[in-house]
Amino acid sequence: MSFFLKIFKLLPPESAHSISLSSLKLLYKLKLLKFFTKKDFKNNEYHFEGMIFKNQLGTAAGLDKNGDFIDALGELGFGFLEVGTTTPLPQDGNSKPRVFRNYNENSIINRLGFNNKGVDYLVNNLKKRKYTGIVGVNIGANKTSSGKQRIDDFLICLEKVHKFADYITINISSPNTPNLRELHNEENLKILISALEKKSNEINLNIPIFIKISPDESEQVLDNIITAVSESFITGIIATNTTTSKLKIKDDEFKLIEGGLSGQYLMDESTKKLSYIRNKSNNMPLIGVGGVMSKNDFFEKIDAGANLVQLYTGFIIKGPSLIIQILKD
């Protein structure tokens, strides 16, 4: 696997992403993937919000936007997968180039903009999956939507995916869809949650719902979010999405790139937000994500209050060996 990882690093980022996942899928179909992965991890079964996980490590949204690689990723040993972000209509996302990998600093900047094949395509893949582990679905709004139409986008996705998901994530925190983060605003968030609750009652939804937040919000905004979630039907919070801050980047060229930063520089800030939420709400169900590049990072998230932890950039940069490193005894 390390040889292939070196080859993929020579390719343009989006091509490398697609080819590497397609290669995993091919190995899975040929029943060869099991020979490249370590599966004899000790039993770390974990019960959380009515779901049973074989371990607390999963993938973050964005890795498999359209659910094309569920079975292959599930073979690697993850305790759960989160697919998406999906939107009601297919969309190309922002113009290329839009993904920038900084291997020297274990970080990635992306401004993808919810590029995906649409919720109907994803639902079809969810129906076909053989993977029996937990699968969450991350839902969002189309770039061209605004106001009430943006709220409706979440409701459309919620209704279409809920029968085929173990949990659903409401993504209000991508920095690459214009004005999406305005949904962190107290009044806007109340309107969104109210609409989601009404729709959930109509469709008899009975699975957990999480809100995925930005790491760039103030403590006052976090307090408002904690209150809004605590007083609503929303199950918990995923902390956090990428950051727009580039202050810690050493490479001046990367500092000037617009988009959301993930990787090692996100670890501290996202974990601080996680810890803050946990200290404010001891019983809040929390999923930690952002900057996990090692086993120590994984346990730092757990110690900060995460019930579950997700990987994205660490998996892209370090490959499947990071899963083994985290989950082995």
24-33, 117-126, 236-245, 297-306: segment of lowest average pLDDT: 24-33
Instruction: Say whether domain 41-327 belongs to CATH 3.40.190.10.
Output: no
Give the integer Cα–Cα distance in Å for 14 and 24.
16
Pairwise pLDDT comparison (261 vs 36), residue with the higher score: 261
Of 174, 262, 270, 281, the active-site residue reads 174
Specify which residues 262 forms β-bridges with.
108
Q: What is the pLDDT of residues 185-244, one digit of tens each?
A: 999 999 999 999 999 999 999 999 999 999 999 999 999 999 999 999 999 999 999 999
Q: Is 95 a catalytic residue?
A: no
Give the integer Cα–Cα distance in Å for 306 and 310.
10
The predicted pLDDT at position 328 comes to 86
The predicted pLDDT at position 107 comes to 96
- Domain boundaries defined on the chain: 41-327
The predicted pLDDT at position 38 comes to 61
CA distances from 221 to 75, 214, 242, 293, 297 (A): 39, 10, 17, 28, 26
pLDDT averaged over the chain? 93
Give the integer Cα–Cα distance in Å for 216 and 122.
29
CA distances from 149 to 144, 209, 271 (A): 9, 21, 33
| Cβ neighbours around 24 below 10 Å, total | 22
The predicted pLDDT at position 2 comes to 54
Instruction: Give me the mean pLDDT over the 69-86 stretch.
Output: 96
pLDDT above 90 as % of the chain: 85
Q: What is the pLDDT of residues 81-117, one digit of tens each?
A: 999 999 999 999 999 999 999 999 999 999 999 999 9
**pLDDT band, residue 3 (cuts 50/70/90):** very low
Residue 64 identity: D
pLDDT above 70 as % of the chain: 94
Q: What is the pLDDT of residues 242-298, one digit of tens each?
A: 999 999 999 999 999 999 999 999 999 999 999 999 999 999 999 999 999 999 999
Q: Quick check: 80 pLDDT over 70?
A: yes
CA distances from 71 to 126, 171, 233, 289 (A): 10, 24, 31, 22
The predicted pLDDT at position 34 comes to 78
**pLDDT band, residue 134 (cuts 50/70/90):** very high
The separation between CA 85 and the C-alpha centre of its own chain, rounded to angstroms, equals: 8
Pairwise pLDDT comparison (94 vs 13), residue with the higher score: 94
Name which of 111, 108, 176 is nearest 142 in CA terms.
176
- 61 within 8 A of 171, measured Cβ to Cβ: yes
Instruction: Give me the mean pLDDT over the 110-128 stretch.
Output: 97
In the block, residue with structure tokens 């919810």: 114
**pLDDT band, residue 6 (cuts 50/70/90):** low
**pLDDT band, residue 18 (cuts 50/70/90):** confident
Q: Quick check: 41 pLDDT over 80?
A: no
Give the integer Cα–Cα distance in Å for 198 and 203.
9
Q: Structure pTM?
A: 0.95
User: Helix axis angle, 186-202 relative to 147-161, nearest 10°?
Assistant: 40
